[in-house]
Amino acid sequence: MTTYDVELIDIVKDFESGGKPVRAVDHVSAQIADGEFFALLGPSGCGKTTTLRLIAGFEQPTAGKVLIRGLAMEGIPAYHRPVNTVFQDYALFPHLTVEQNIMFGLQMEGVNKKEARKRASESLDMVRLPDVGARKPHQLSGGQQQRVALARALVKKPAVLLLDEPLGALDLKLRVNMQYELKALQRDVGITFIYVTHDQEEAITMADRIAVMNEGKMLQIGSPREIYEHPDTHFVADFIGETNFIAGALLDQDADGFGRVRLADESVIKAQLSQTLRSAGGAVTVAIRPERIGISTLQQRPEALGTDVDSGEITLLDALLVDSQYIGTDTRYTVRIGDESDLVVRVQNTSERDNSAIAVGQPFKIFWRPSSATVLDR
């Protein structure tokens, strides 16, 4: 039997709010492997922070089990769990110096002062913040405080490090730098990271696997690529990146996991079925990413994809241009298809191609591979 670093087994957490119980976590199960960078992603109030707090031991589940390294955590207080947390607001003790903050956790383990001081200084070196040990937290910048919080948690060499939106308070540039640094640090120390964020880009950049949460439920768990390219639900497709949704009716399904969908204008397209698709026919939604759509009048041609249009291995639709927007790396087009719905198409700007060569109202064809489009429950 494989033991996971953290196992959540059918966790439920109810809170009392104004006399009414509110379900913050709704039957959540997940297995997180040793050394994995696991992101809990979702909008605020989706239950991701509560899930983290249940693992840390700050909250007790209403039902279900938390296992850490195979051990049931029921009745084990936070201070006896082999996990450490980097809090959203860092929660550095304001009355202690940086060094004392980092030594705090070691002293609770009974490490003597000399050894604790040595390890604190090593840990400050690790987060590349030497020479601030004597300062008080309020004398540091937000980014420095973030590193101290990281050092304070990592110095305990936990089995699992829990991070609650640790980069949320930093400005954009620093946040992007810290993303790479955190990822590199995680690779170096080899500790399992469970990382709570509402920022999908952050999750995609850093995580080995992402669990997307909404309204207390874990909707989908998978690698960033799986989550982005094959969202299981409308919510996941919509929450992660930009997506076009086209309404249609599912006609049939084939053995390869594809189905044919009839759109409102009677045209029929082929698309991959989502893993969790419930409907065997009837009303569905087809999701397609803007950058997966090609425009025929630009240099992209269906033939360039190396497949035969007539064989049905490419989806081809008539469209006309409604609007175009230059956004730096890409040009973002709004196009109208036969069923009168508008889709967004993104085409990369390159030196060989003039993306401004099409005019509003101009007809052309748009195309994509069926495997790029996903059929979802409506």
Partner 1 sequence: MRRNGVFLALPTILWLVIFFVLPLAVVLVFSFMSRGRGGVAIMPFTLEHYQRAFGVFFIILQRSIGLAALTTIVCLIVGYPLAFFISTRRRRIVRQITLFLVILPFWTNFLIRTYAWRILLGEEGTINGVLLSLGLISEALPLLNTQLAVLIGLVYGFLPFMALPIYASVERFNFRYVDAAHDLGANDVRTFLRVVLPLTLPGVLAGCALVFIPSVGAFVTPDLLGGTKGLMIGNLINKQFGGSGNMPLGSALSIVMMAVVMISLLVYVFANRREAAA
Using rule CB under 8 A, residue 142 touches partner 1: no
Amino acid at 52: L
Using rule CB under 8 A, residue 369 touches partner 1: no
Which of these ranges, 93-101, 190-198, 320-328, 365-373, lies near partner 1 under the rule CB under 8 A? Answer: 93-101
- Residues 6 or more apart whose Cβ sits within 8 Å of residue 52: 40, 85, 162, 164, 194, 196
Minimum separation from the CB atom of position 109 to partner 1 (A): 6
CA distance 79 to 201: 33
HEC secondary structure over 230-283? CCCCHHHHHHCCCCEEEEEEEEEECCCCEEEEEECCCCEEEEEECCCCCCCCEE
Nearer to partner 1, 94 or 361 (CB): 94
Q: Contact, 52 vs 59, CB < 8 A?
A: no
Which of these ranges, 43-51, 105-113, 224-232, 353-361, lies near partner 1 under the rule CB under 8 A? Answer: 105-113
Minimum separation from the CB atom of position 28 to partner 1 (A): 21
Cβ atoms within 10 Å, residue 108:
10
- φ and ψ of 310, to 5 deg: -65, -25
Using rule CB under 8 A, residue 89 touches partner 1: yes
Minimum separation from the CB atom of position 52 to partner 1 (A): 11
Using rule CB under 8 A, residue 95 touches partner 1: yes
Out of 42, 47, 105, 294, which residue is the one contacting partner 1 (CB under 8 A)?
A: 105
Out of 12, 33, 76, 78, which residue is the one contacting partner 1 (CB under 8 A)?
A: 78
How many CA atoms does the CB half-sphere of 77 hold within 13 Å?
Answer: 1
Q: Contact, 39 vs 50, CB < 8 A?
A: no
- φ and ψ of 328, to 5 deg: 85, -100
Minimum separation from the CB atom of position 19 to partner 1 (A): 11
Q: Dihedral of the CA atoms 33, 226, 40, 48 (nearest 10)?
A: -120
CA distance 163 to 214: 19
Which of these ranges, 103-111, 113-121, 285-293, 295-303, lies near partner 1 under the rule CB under 8 A? Answer: 103-111
- Residues 6 or more apart whose Cβ sits within 8 Å of residue 98: 92, 124, 132, 133, 134, 135, 136, 137, 140, 148
Out of 52, 56, 185, 204, which residue is the one contacting partner 1 (CB under 8 A)?
A: 56
Q: Which residue has the tokens 């087009």?
A: 333
Which of these ranges, 22-30, 92-100, 235-243, 350-358, lies near partner 1 under the rule CB under 8 A? Answer: 92-100
CA distance 172 to 24: 29
Nearer to partner 1, 140 or 288 (CB): 140
Minimum separation from the CB atom of position 174 to partner 1 (A): 22
Nearer to partner 1, 49 or 243 (CB): 49
Using rule CB under 8 A, residue 79 touches partner 1: yes
Using rule CB under 8 A, residue 310 touches partner 1: no
Tell me, by CB under 8 A, how many residues bind partner 1.
24
Out of 31, 34, 69, 104, which residue is the one contacting partner 1 (CB under 8 A)?
A: 104
Using rule CB under 8 A, residue 245 touches partner 1: no
Under rule CB under 8 A, which residues in 319-358 are in contact with partner 1?
A: none
- Helix ranges restricted to H, the chain: 48-56, 98-108, 113-126, 142-154, 172-189, 200-206, 224-229, 234-239
Q: Which residues form the interface with partner 1 (CB under 8 A)?
A: 56-58, 77-80, 83-85, 87, 89, 91-95, 104-105, 108-109, 152-153, 156
